Amino acid sequence: MNKGSLHNVIEVREITDTVYVLRVERNGFTFQSGQYLALGKKDDIQKREYSIYSGENDEYLEVLVKEVLEGDVSKKLHRLKPGDEVEIEGPYGHFILNGTPRDKKIIFIASGTGISPCHSLIRSNPKLDYMVLHGVKYSFESFDRHAYHPYRYIQCTSRESEGDFYGRVTDYLSRHGADKNSEYFLCGNSNMIYDVFDILKDKGVSQEQIHTEVYF
């Protein structure tokens, strides 16, 4: 486990007005895709937990960050410049593929920036048989949609009809059903996870096939 390592900022890449990717030097930091870390500015006691966005084999570390009004850390990180230092603790978490049969299809169901660990898992496992069901409010919140195979990513938009499916991920599952032979990885806000968990169980998916990472 790495604790308290310092990393120089490489870039802050804007995705939307409030969502950005922070890329820092890796400096030998090791992790398993799907894990998260605690991150803050150097010498700042405030840290925030973020799922790792980059892949296990990338030469850098990335996190996908949403700046929130009440979030001091997300605002400070957004203002960082190349060469600034951040402190990282971790990695933490068990939202990983260990023990999951690689011949099984993986269904990722995420809301908002909860797609971050899914991005890392897919990037780290190029031969993975997967599907992404991504719930957002608006179609511009696709967050690097090009990183996924076009036939393996479904955007569910709740506030407009410009996405692949107009409605929440729960609406999509209720309408299209669930594959009882797949493994499900759910990441995002707790209400979505609880609702999807219940839908999957009602459709015959066993609890052992459902893996969760709650953001808030």
* Spatial CB neighbours of 136, under 8 Å, sequence gap ≥ 6: 111, 112, 142, 155, 156, 157, 158, 163
The CATH architecture of the domain made up of 2-92 is Beta Barrel (2.40)
Question: Domain boundaries in the chain?
Answer: 2-92, 106-214
The pTM of the full predicted model, rounded to 2 decimals, is 0.94
At 216, the amino acid letter reads F
**What is the per-residue pLDDT across 132-164, written as a single tens digit (0 to 9) for each?**
999 999 999 999 999 999 999 999 999 999 999
Average pLDDT of span 117-122: 98
C-beta of residue 164 within 8 angstroms of C-beta of residue 158: no
CATH of domain 106-214: 3.40.50.80
**What is the per-residue pLDDT across 53-76, written as a single tens digit (0 to 9) for each?**
999 999 999 999 999 888 899 999
Structure token digits, residue 110: 């995420």
Residue 215 has pLDDT above 90, yes or no: no
Buried b (16+ CB within 10 A) or exposed e, 55-80: bbeeeebbbbbbbeeeeebbebbbeb
